[in-house]
Structure 1
Amino acid sequence: MPGVLKSLSSSHLKYVSLGVLVLQTTSLVLTMRYSRTLQSEGLVYLASSAVVSAELLKIAACIVLVFRDLSFSVHSLNQVLKEEIFNSPLIMLKLAVPSGIYTLQNNLLYVALSNLDAATYQVTYQLKILTTALFSVSMLGKRLGVYQWLSLVILMMGIVLVQWPVEGMSKTSQKDLSASSQLTGLLAVLLACFSSGFAGVYFEKILKDSKQSIWVRNIQLGLFGLIFGLVGVFLFDRSKVLEMGFFQGYNNLTWTVVTLQALGGLIIAAVIKYADNILKGFATSISIILSTLISYFLLKDFSPTSVFFIGAMLVIAATFLYGFEGSSAICSRKE
């Protein structure tokens, strides 16, 4: 009986974590898109300040999680933070690299969603599967199976079709998204994919050589992210902050975007712990479909074409195929 209850509990956590991932991914993309381009009232908040706010919230959440893991001992928490932050300069310097890249990536996502509709962004951003795979092969020495390489080819074909120019674009799309803004959004998303792939693999390499919890490592990343984020505010939005304040344009929707972005990494960590690649791919696919439907029916800033539909189906299929072989390989090694 205890074994059955444990199995049910594990299964329950698996699907709960995936459900939360679908909700977080879809909600973040749509709220970010709406808050940056479609919201009609008041000032538009500064993307650079939102990135800093998200880092602060992420650090706070990770400190709470470490505190819980240490049985709510203030002394143990102080000791861990002191040892890992102030007495580990080498580790901190190593983490400065992915932290700086993640900060750049977070800013790029705001640029991308300011210039692309949510559905196109969601599909194109799956290119990070390709960049992560290539960096894993080159930096970690991982080997990909035949079906995984095939899935990457299908993924590329799907993304090319999604971005393929079509003469019969909707009037709404032509009005809201000029060719130059679409190019800006595409370049931002491509750069974000490469930065995501490199930073993710680099961070994985550090985690494999570390005995510390992922929450502690996220605190370290967050501290550097906070510093890099403030530098970004100073370089790009200093005059605006001095004139209108750091939190200009903030409202309930802005704080929702900040919260969703801060919790994204923590949710993915839970999915990695409780789920597998196939179900994660399933969650990604549901998120793409939901983003497309909501963009079309509610936000009304997107009208899918047959070419986009074919491309999106190829991307979803590639996501499943890549995750399926990865999970099969893991199962084989366990057996």
Structure 2
Amino acid sequence: MPAINYNLKYISLTVLIIQTTSMVLALRYSRTVQEDGPKYLSSTAVVMAECFKILACLCLVCYQEGGGIPKLFEVINTEIIGRPWDSLKLAVPSGLYTVQNNLLFLALSNLDAATYQVTYQLKILTTAMFSVCMLSKQLNSYKWASLVTLMIGVALVQMPSESKEPEKPLTATNQFIGLVAVLCACFSSGFAGVYFEKILKGTKQSIWVRNIQLAFFGVLFGLMGVFVYDSTAVLSDGFLQGYSKTTWMVVSLQAFGGLVIAAVIKYADNILKGFATSLSIILSTTVSYYLLDDFTPTSFFFIGALLVIGATFCMEWNHQNRQQ
């Protein structure tokens, strides 16, 4: 059983890197390609991805239970409807992710891009801190050094190139609001991820049942976002306005990504997820340079990429030594 989990751990991490890279590239393409009519609304795409995730998990539960529809309804009634308090626990990470997205929007509105990118990477350390506090993980000096190096590397990789257009000056009040917002988002991200990990690893319930519960609340909070930000556009041109084959591909990849992340958290942890996501940032940015021609690498990118790769190898080397 440990050997199986070990294999699933690295398989899920590899799939996450591929999925995240594909998602980023498809998302960039979908937002830049010129098509007739209005562009699709990102808020509705989030809702549709959660709906796809529920459908996928229902199929997986049905297969897991032997392929019978009656058995599927029995599982839903017993594990979800029959345990409302247990299901309600998943509203916490789902709600926190929604709050986090709004905080990031507030931060971007009050900070320059460089400060935002650097500060937001603190989520790597907050995730590690919550893992130690809530899951009693043991992180030695090598792991902490790897995490700090990873944080610096990701910040450098995502450092924006010099803009030709001067940005509007930001007041001290703007900067204070932006910093508070991004710091709260870092703690929200870390807590939500570790909280979800604790639920997944502390229960005998199927990972797919847990994802149904999480996605259900994701749909509810997502619809609230549609109402707040895009209700006028939806009433004018419809919920699925601007959807194309590319849009549906983005939605499918996003839904698939949610399932992969859950598998990574189940069989690995949030810290390793952070390393996999960081590697996917470098990969997607590099591929974007060659295929989409919408990125110009800077010296910061190359230095940051080396730091991320070095931190990843250092973490894996430390893990292998502890296994021996």
With the length of structure 1 as denominator, give the TM-score of the two structures.
0.76
Match of 1:140 in 2: 135
Q: CA deviation at 1:321?
A: 2.5
Are residue 40 (structure 1) and residue 37 (structure 2) matched? no
Match of 1:31 in 2: 26
Letter in 2 for 1:222: A
- Report 1:309-324 matches (<5 A): 309-324=302-317
Shift in alpha-carbon separation, 1:11–1:56, aligned structure 2, 3 A: same
Match of 2:191 in 1: 198
Alpha-carbon distance between aligned partners in 2 of 1:112 and 1:40, rounded to the nearest angstrom: 29
Tell me if structure 2 keeps the 8 A contact 1:52–1:225.
Answer: yes
**Alpha-carbon displacement from aligned partner over 1:32-81 (angstroms, at most 9, x marks no partner):** 12222x22223221111001000000000011111111011222211110
**Alpha-carbon displacement from aligned partner over 1:266-301 (angstroms, at most 9, x marks no partner):** 224455677899997886565334322222222222
Alpha-carbon distance between aligned partners in 1 of 2:158 and 2:101, rounded to the nearest angstrom: 22
Are residue 265 (structure 1) and residue 234 (structure 2) matched? no
**Alpha-carbon displacement from aligned partner over 1:162-181 (angstroms, at most 9, x marks no partner):** 45576xx4xxx647x9689x
Stretch of structure 1 that moved more, 69-78 or 292-301: 292-301
Letter in 2 for 1:293: T
Match of 1:59 in 2: 54
Shift in alpha-carbon separation, 1:51–1:210, aligned structure 2, 3 A: same
Alpha-carbon distance between aligned partners in 2 of 1:187 and 1:151, rounded to the nearest angstrom: 26
Alpha-carbon distance between aligned partners in 1 of 2:243 and 2:181, rounded to the nearest angstrom: 24
Are residue 254 (structure 1) and residue 247 (structure 2) matched? yes
Structure 1 unmatched ranges of 5 or more = 1-6, 114-120
Query: Quick one: which of 229, 240, 243 aligns to 2:222?
Result: 229
Letter in 2 for 1:223: F
Alpha-carbon distance between aligned partners in 1 of 2:181 and 2:294, rounded to the nearest angstrom: 19
Structure 2 unmatched ranges of 5 or more = 109-115, 170-174
Stretch of structure 1 that moved more, 127-136 or 137-146: 127-136
Are residue 49 (structure 1) and residue 71 (structure 2) matched? no
Secondary structure, aligned partner of 2:89: helix
Are residue 213 (structure 1) and residue 206 (structure 2) matched? yes
Secondary structure, aligned partner of 2:294: coil
Tell me if structure 1 keeps the 8 A contact 2:279–2:309.
Answer: no
Shift in alpha-carbon separation, 1:15–1:319, aligned structure 2, 3 A: closer
Alpha-carbon distance between aligned partners in 2 of 1:319 and 1:106, rounded to the nearest angstrom: 27
Alpha-carbon distance between aligned partners in 1 of 2:168 and 2:309, rounded to the nearest angstrom: 26
Match of 2:172 in 1: none
Letter in 2 for 1:56: C
Alignment RMSD: 4.1
Alpha-carbon distance between aligned partners in 1 of 2:59 and 2:118, rounded to the nearest angstrom: 34
Tell me if structure 2 keeps the 8 A contact 1:158–1:311.
Answer: yes
Letter in 1 for 2:199: I
> Identity, % of aligned pairs?
62
**Alpha-carbon displacement from aligned partner over 1:2-46 (angstroms, at most 9, x marks no partner):** xxxxx9x9999777655543331111011112222x222232211
Tell me if structure 2 keeps the 8 A contact 1:278–1:320.
Answer: no
